[in-house]
Amino acid sequence: MRRRLVLLLPLLAAGCVVEAPPPPPNYVPPSYAYLTPLRLRVASIEIGDDWQPSAGGADLSPMSPLPPVDALRRMAQDRLVAAGNSGRAVFTIEDAAIVQTYAGLSGHFEVRLDIYTSGETRAAYAEASVARTLTEPPGGAEALQPALYSLTRQMMDDMNVELEYQVRHSLADWLENSSAASPVPVPVQQQPLPPP
C-alpha cells in the first residue's frame, strides 16, 4: 500500500499544478514626437481641455486604458509647434466619445485648430474628425478594456493623418516652411588614408 501511495504522489502533484495568471496587458500611450512637427507661425499654442463626456453615462471613453481626451491632447503637444512672433493657436477637442451600440463600439473624435492674430481676431481655422466602429461587441468586463484601447489606437492613427491633412490644406499660409530653415549639408571631401 505504501509503495502505491509513493508511486501515485507525483501524479497527484502534477494534477494540482496551478498555472500563473497571464501578465496584465501593457496599454502603451501613442507618441507622435518622431513625426515632423507642424510648425505654426504663432507665438503660442493653447490646448483646450474643456470637453466632458455626456451626462447620460452612455460614453465609455473614460473607461478606456487610453482615454481619448488624453491621447488627443498628447497628439497636439507632440505635433503642433509655435514658430512665430505673434498671435496664438488654440487646439480644441470638440468630441472624444466612444459609445456602445447593439453592433459593438462606435467612436467619434473631432478637433478644431483656430489661429488668432495679435488682436484676438480669428484669422483661420482647421477642423478634423474621424469615426470608426468596432463591430464585434465586447464579451464582458475583461474584454471591454482591450476593445476600447484597440478602437482608441485605431482612431488616433486616423486622426493623426486627418489633422495633418486639414492643417496643411486649410492653414497652409500659417505653416512655416521648415525646409528653408534646415541647413545645407557640407559636401563630403576625400582624403587619402596613410598606408597601413
What one-character DSSP code corresponds to residue 140?
A: S
- What is the CATH number for 164? 3.30.160
Shortest CA distance to 39 belongs to which of 177, 150, 148, 155?
A: 177
Q: What are phi and psi of 168, to 5 degrees?
A: -65, -30
* Domain span including residue 74: 33-176
What one-character DSSP code corresponds to residue 50?
A: -
Q: Which helix (H) or strand (E) holds 78?
A: helix 68-79
Residue 96 to residues 17, 150, 178: CA-CA distances in angstroms?
Answer: 46, 15, 31
Q: What pTM was estimated for this model as a whole?
A: 0.76
Structural domain includes residue 137 = yes
- Maximal CA-CA distance, the chain: 97
pLDDT by residue, tens only, the chain of 196 residues: 555 555 555 544 555 556 766 666 777 888 899 999 999 999 999 998 777 776 566 888 888 899 999 999 999 999 999 999 999 999 999 999 999 888 789 999 999 999 999 778 899 999 999 999 988 755 666 788 889 999 999 999 999 999 999 999 999 999 997 544 444 444 445 556 666 6
Give the total residue count for the chain. Answer: 196
Beta bridge partners of 112: 92, 127
Structural domain includes residue 133 = yes
Structural domain includes residue 171 = yes
The three three-digit cell numbers of residue 182, written as one number = 534646415
Structural domain includes residue 191 = no
- Three-state SS letters, 179-194: HHHCCCCCCCCCCCCC
Shortest CA distance to 147 belongs to which of 130, 132, 134, 131?
A: 134
Structural domain includes residue 39 = yes
Structural domain includes residue 28 = no
Residue with cell 484676438: 120
Structural domain includes residue 182 = no
For the chain, the domain total comes to: 1
Shortest CA distance to 160 belongs to which of 27, 28, 37, 26?
A: 37
Structural domain includes residue 2 = no
